[in-house]
Structure 1
């Protein structure tokens, strides 16, 4: 027996729920269903931000907000003028969830628990009479001559007048959409950490520094905190590089040379001057014993090299542990300048960043009307969230895309 709904939303994640709730609030008469292939809904919400759910980011200017999206910057400008971070805060407050801003701009529920967001969504769908149907893996989608959609899962048949796809990075769904004339930009991983085996960092997991990094033979560059891990390098500087370079690094098969300036924006020339001054001022002290860039109050233009990292880079420069500043040779000093401002590391592979897997790729943006999130090929087909070729760096931006696309879609489908 076929179940009929006015609107079916395929995908029980953040974008799917937000879309459904907003549609139902604008027009309570619609009969709406969310189809989820898994046994649980909102799983990505559950694990986001270490289980706290990084709801959005405290960047309130749309023209600035779009700059955090390696793919989708141009297309999101208009939508963000309709619904951006400030609107997200207001929406959740109206639904009983208060958000807080952390020092880095990320925003979380005050409860520090993703369950707060899940409960908010589940309560809203129940109150609004939205059917949430789990274990519904879509096997086929068919558009009838009467212009309704027929969706078959492994154990049920559905039909609807309007279809919303919010299935994220689901290759099976992308394949189905290609049968309907949509183009799919080949998906590749984004937001990943770099696998690096190198003696200089082997014993330093947990050490972090403010750096600038760039990939050899490319224009890819980034700045920000870098975290040394057991498998290599992570932290915002690396994650940003992986997002902006998703396609380039994929083409390199994740085998490339990374240059690291541990002093961030201090170049080799200025570094050499600093080290020569230190040679004069601390002539009788051992070079390796204390990092001159570990002084309080941000000395040397804010550069900070922790002691353990400093010691490792000194040894890598061919300077023995007891060598005094006065005894540094010209070559040793130049080697140290190179290690500090242009450290060369070989990257050999990638690792997923925590449980947060983001994909660059999806429905070609040229085939979507961003005033409505409507397919240009089929007027009763809509998209929300990461199913389209939009992705962002880490920090709550991918969720903001889900909220914005869901809100705009809901406005369009109910008008």
Structure 2
């Protein structure tokens, strides 16, 4: 985005150095190969609330280039984005390859040069201005008047930024599933539910999220779990991914509503078995049967014969099930990290370093990360566009 923007503004020589054989690999694998390009969140202030790190500082950049601007930018270059019911926006034909082709075509049309297998390993600022770059795949040192680092979560970018005088906030995992100690629950792997409330307690800190949850063979995943992990990323890391999670499966019915429903079922469904007559329609039958197992009550018992103690246990499971976290789920290839270059050392109006003039930084290299749903890509588009504009204005 930065290279294309700078070139489209009239710069005659813009060069991208890519350490891998193929650029944009993270775009290719994102969203299961669909690429969640951005999110339909039109208010810049509201958009910024979806970033656990950087929410307040990002209001400025988003006021100049937010999701609406990104949608227009891609549309003008031949890529139509389609909004899904939850606000996520994907390419019209659901192929991440379409996003890659759009960016590559725009770069070629603007005259951007791309050099692959060129891994920059060292950058030195020059006394007379500019930078000298050396690294694997570079036959001789390169000189650049302006330089932008957009290395994502790769440690090479953080090392270069530190060498140029920046403070780097240590990166920790973000956006991951939770591994739980709950065999009857994980036996329900594959079940997804909406409006599940999660309440995570880590020492004196508490984190809450409500939304769609997916039960996996390890524990919990899904959008609400991933958002929870993003906001609690540093606290979870500090606790070695151990803690107590309370889950409310009642879909907003609440403790009083669930208690009334159980008593109502005891009367109205008195002759039916617990397994056959689940008290809430939104509960998948397999999950309800797992709850019965956790409460220690037989599914073939009639509602009229449900012991009061078992009813209270079911009430607790449905409204405030306590689960022990035993770790985080495995990182996928498209993981996000919390951490990077301190935002206080970057002018977010231009993305230029405050410590090293002529150096620009954007994307996951910065201490910015968003929740799942296209927000991390949006931060990259916004930062890249701002940097490209500023680089072109400076050199021209």
Over 4 Å off, 4+ runs: none
Q: CA deviation at 1:246?
A: 0.4
Q: Unaligned 5+ residue runs, structure 2?
A: none
SS at match of 1:405: helix
**How high is the TM-score relative to the length of structure 1?**
0.91
State the partner residue of 1:301: none
Of 140-149 and 198-207, deviating more is: 198-207
Matches within 5 A, 1:8-407: 18-27=1-10, 29-156=11-138, 157-210=141-194, 211-216=196-201, 217=203, 218-294=205-281, 304-352=282-330, 354-407=332-385
Q: CA deviation at 1:354?
A: 4.2
Q: CA deviation at 1:106?
A: 0.5
Distance in 1 (CA, whole Å) between partners of 2:376 and 2:186 is: 32
Distance in 2 (CA, whole Å) between partners of 1:155 and 1:312 is: 57
Distance in 2 (CA, whole Å) between partners of 1:389 and 1:130 is: 28
**Cα RMSD over matched residues?**
1.3
Distance in 2 (CA, whole Å) between partners of 1:323 and 1:258 is: 30
Distance in 1 (CA, whole Å) between partners of 2:348 and 2:22 is: 30
Q: CA deviation at 1:201?
A: 1.6
Q: CA deviation at 1:197?
A: 4.0
Given that 1:191 and 1:352 are in contact with CA atoms closer than 8 Å, whether structure 2 keeps it comes out as no
Of 259-268 and 38-47, deviating more is: 259-268
Distance in 1 (CA, whole Å) between partners of 2:333 and 2:218 is: 16
For this pair of structures, how many residues does the alignment match?
388
Distance in 2 (CA, whole Å) between partners of 1:354 and 1:49 is: 11
String of CA shifts for 1:240-296, please: whole Å, max 9, x gaps.
1100000000011112221111113333233212211111111111112232212xx
Distance in 1 (CA, whole Å) between partners of 2:165 and 2:301 is: 69
State the partner residue of 1:9: none
Distance in 2 (CA, whole Å) between partners of 1:179 and 1:44 is: 26
SS at match of 1:75: coil
Given that 2:165 and 2:356 are in contact with CA atoms closer than 8 Å, whether structure 1 keeps it comes out as no
Distance in 2 (CA, whole Å) between partners of 1:63 and 1:352 is: 33
Given that 2:261 and 2:279 are in contact with CA atoms closer than 8 Å, whether structure 1 keeps it comes out as no
